[in-house]
Amino acid sequence: MPGINCTQTTEFSLAGFTEDPATQVTLFLLFLLFLLTYLVTILGNLGMITLIRASALLHSPMYYFLGNLAFVNLCTSTTITPRMLAGVLLGKKGITYAGCMAQIFTFGLFVVTECFLLAAMAYDRYVAICHPLLYLLVMSPERCSWLVTSSYLLGLTNGVGQAIGMSSLFFCSSSAIDLFFCDISMLISLSSSDTTLSLIILRTSSSLLGVPSLLVVLVSYVAIISTILSISSAEGKRKALSTCASHLAVLSTFYGPLIFMYLIPRSDTSRGGDKWAAVLYSVVTPMLNPWIYSLRNREVKEAWRRLRKIK
């Protein structure tokens, strides 16, 4: 329990990049880089959503999932990037307790939602490659809608759980977070109260929500690779692999930084790369996803060409 003379912190300081020994020119260049990234994120994801809705060529289960992934990426970036831009340009490091709670809730919601959307997309690729004759039956509109709705509900469960875990913490000594957004694991380490409940919620949500979605991805791709290896022609193998290439690229940019930041053990003095890992999965990955699918997917390119002809 906190000491009797301890006053609850009402504001946190998001040190992030503003604590680095950087010149004003460097900070301004960082601001321009993050601003450009955010603008490209908005353009890419809104463009992907609009294209999927407007083009009949993209009215299929895979693009239904991709449209929802673009929406989640847009929300994830908007939760983090505008606040980070204010910190870099204006040196505005303070964030209220309520603002921190809101960030934890929304970020926890959309990160877990993205985990399950990526799992649903992996399952979609598994059915398409391993059971192509049953694809339309298995991936029916009702099942796709159920998979997407479940993803959002599980994300909401995580967001509420993280917010509840945060509300049980008491802060009175240090309120400086060495990151550019409120991260629950760092807040737990700063708390001066009993963190047992928060740790239980954090570990439980990671085990019950993160692990199953990752297992679905791994099992799906084990089956996909096994099926591809059984294909006799090289052209058939190439076509099968090409249908998974974009999804695999998105998986690597999403899970790679998360695993580095949360699962690789290291000392407090060697956590300097955490903020750059956080930049990757919270800022860069939402920008890359729509462009990965746009540049590598023939159907998306054809839909763009048809839409331009109509205009």
Which of 190, 188, 292, 311 lies closest to 245 in space, CA to CA? Answer: 292
Q: What is the pTM of this model?
A: 0.88
Please tell me the predicted confidence (pLDDT) of residue 261.
66
In eight-state DSSP terms, residue 140 is -
Give me the architecture of the 11-301 domain, per CATH.
Up-down Bundle (1.20)
**Whole-number pLDDT of residue 269:** 46
Cα 118 from Cα 50, distance rounded (Å): 20
Task: Dig out the tokens for 23 from the structure.
Answer: 């010149």
> Which residues partner with 176 through β-bridges?
13
Which tokens in the block code for residue 277? 């890992």
Question: Residue 16, Cβ neighbours under 10 Å: how many?
Answer: 21
User: Rounded CA gap, 190 and 171, in Å?
Assistant: 7
Q: Which residues of the chain have pLDDT under 70?
A: 1-8, 16-24, 91-92, 173-174, 260-275, 295-296, 310-311
Q: Which tokens sit at 70?
A: 């673009």
Q: What is the DSSP string of 64-85?
A: HHHHHHHHHHHHHHHHHHHHHH
The per-residue pLDDT for 200 is 79
- The candidate with the shortest Cα–Cα distance to 282, out of 76, 133, 119, is 76
In angstroms, rounded to a whole number, what is the distance separating the alpha carbons of residues 272 and 292? 28
Rg from Cα positions in the chain? 21
Return the sign of the alpha-carbon dihedral for residues 17, 20, 24, 28.
negative
Q: How confident is the model at residue 109, as a pLDDT? A: 93
Q: Find, among 114, 141, 144, 139, the residue nearest to 128 by Cα.
A: 139
**Three-state SS for 178?**
coil
* Domain ranges within the chain, ordered by starting residue: 11-301
